[in-house]
Amino acid sequence: MRAETGRVTSSGEVDARPTVRVAKFHTPEIIIGPGSLDEIPRAAAGLGMRRLMIVADRELVATPWYPQLAQRLRAADLRVSSYTGVSPNPRAPEIAAGFEHYEQTRAEGIVALGGGSVIDAAKGIAILAANGGHILSYEGIDRARRPLPPMVAAPTTAGSGSDVSQFCIVNDVDRMTKVTIIGRGLVPDVSVIDPLALATLPHDVAAQSGMDAITHCIEAYASVAHTRLTDRAARSAIGTAWHSIERFVDDPSDADAGMEMAYAALEAGMAFTNAILGATHAMSHPVGGLCDAPHGAINSVLLPHVIRFNAEVDPTPYVDLADAIGLGTSSSAHVTAERFADQVAGLSARVGMPSRLRDFGVRDADIPALTVNALADACMRTNPRQPTTADVARMYREAL
């Protein structure tokens, strides 16, 4: 038996448009607030870890957060090893090396400290620890069948949502694309969100991750898999992020702005992991694999084009989101959706994001291969309008 729900409109009413039937809403245990990194030893021990591996990257090792975490864990009588061989857009060989280290140290769980790339790498290591094989063989939905070892995720950026999501994104360097791995078992057991850890973010990373969070809100709200719960999370998150991101990018040490962006990234993550995403992410992943460029920056270039494409058929989600950011609406829903796309492009420019795909090195000759990979990406399944090959190629060219 399948029950239908309707979209919550800007007036608070439920419209008649069918949405997901009998959906789950999955989140980890969430610990959030200034100083919450202190809770990680207790969370790890509570999950049965006695020997654990910290996954981080080399840049994070140079911040105060990594040594402080390792010290806290050891003070709690936990045996700690670490793996820091993670690069932005983590690659399959890095995940394989992390798994080797996990096995050699006989770890019983993982603490991931870092941005989305670090947390995705930790998920990849956990997949191999439980299921073996090669990480790229798990591309798609629910391919990792065995339960993963326990994981605590502590994000140090405000945007990826990987700490609460069922996504793991891995760079396939041979195919020059990113592989999307999805499964409920990939949601970490505990997410520990400490806004103080955002204070050392470079300005460009703050902007990229913030635009990623805004993209999550928009794609989750428009997704064919949305529910009333994901709608509420997405609307709340985009309103918070929209009015905080510029202040946060200007000064990542601004505690109030950091707290707002931490909550926005969290709610956006809860929205998209349950509603999934859309064409922006499906098109972004191949570009990231081709150019090894920052994911949030690629999203910010593609997003206005995808909004306009989807709104040609149904502008309703974007009218609601325009209301959520205080843009206001006009008598024409299509006009409002167009204005919303313009506002997204304007915000992206104000926080310093590139405006064209060519800024990442994409060429017209790359578009056929990018299009093939985008159409094969799992995120395309929940886009509200299913594009043809010509549609995707045209959007890439418009963004070029």
pLDDT at 9: 45
Same-domain check for residues 51 and 9: no
CATH code of the domain containing 377: 1.20.1090.10
Q: According to the model, what pLDDT value does residue 328 have?
A: 80
- The reply to whether 215 and 275 lie within a common domain is yes
| 144 shares its domain with 263 | no
The boundaries of the domain holding residue 378 are: 4-26+201-399
Same domain, 185 and 94: yes
pLDDT tens readout for residues 163-216:
999 999 999 988 888 999 999 999 999 999 999 999 999 999 999 999 999 999
In this predicted structure, the answer to whether residue 17 has a pLDDT above a threshold of 90 is no
Q: Are residues 220 and 307 in the same domain?
A: yes
Amino acid at residue number 317: P
**Domain final position from 151, 183, 198:** 198
- Cβ-contact 209, 115 below 8 angstroms: yes
| DSSP string over 185-208 | GGS-SEEEE-GGGGTT--HHHHHH
Kindly report the CATH number assigned to the domain that includes residue 51. 3.40.50.1970
Check residue 379 and give its pLDDT.
95
209 shares its domain with 191: no
CA distance 288 to 360: 9
Statement to judge: residues 117 and 261 lie in one domain: no
> What is the per-residue pLDDT for 21?
62
Residue 337, both tokens: 């959706």
CB distance 178 to 277 below 8 Å = no
Of residues 331 and 156, more confidently modeled: 156
Residues 269 and 386 in one domain: yes
- The pLDDT-based confidence of 11 (bands split at 50, 70, 90) is very low
| 391 and 334 both lie in a single domain | yes
The answer, yes or no, to whether residue 8 has pLDDT greater than 60, is no
Q: Are 277 and 249 in the same domain?
A: yes
Tokens for 181, please give them: 């791995």
For residue 358, what are its two tokens?
Answer: 């060519």
Q: What is the pTM of this model?
A: 0.92
Say yes or no: 205 and 169 in one domain.
Answer: no
The DSSP annotation for 80-117 comes to: EEEE-B--SS-BHHHHHHHHHHHHHTT-S-EEEEESHH
| Angstrom distance (rounded) from CA 297 to CA 301 | 7
Structural domains of the chain, count: 2
**Single residue among 177, 198, 219 that ends a domain in this structure:** 198
Task: Tell me the mean pLDDT in the region 218-233.
Answer: 97
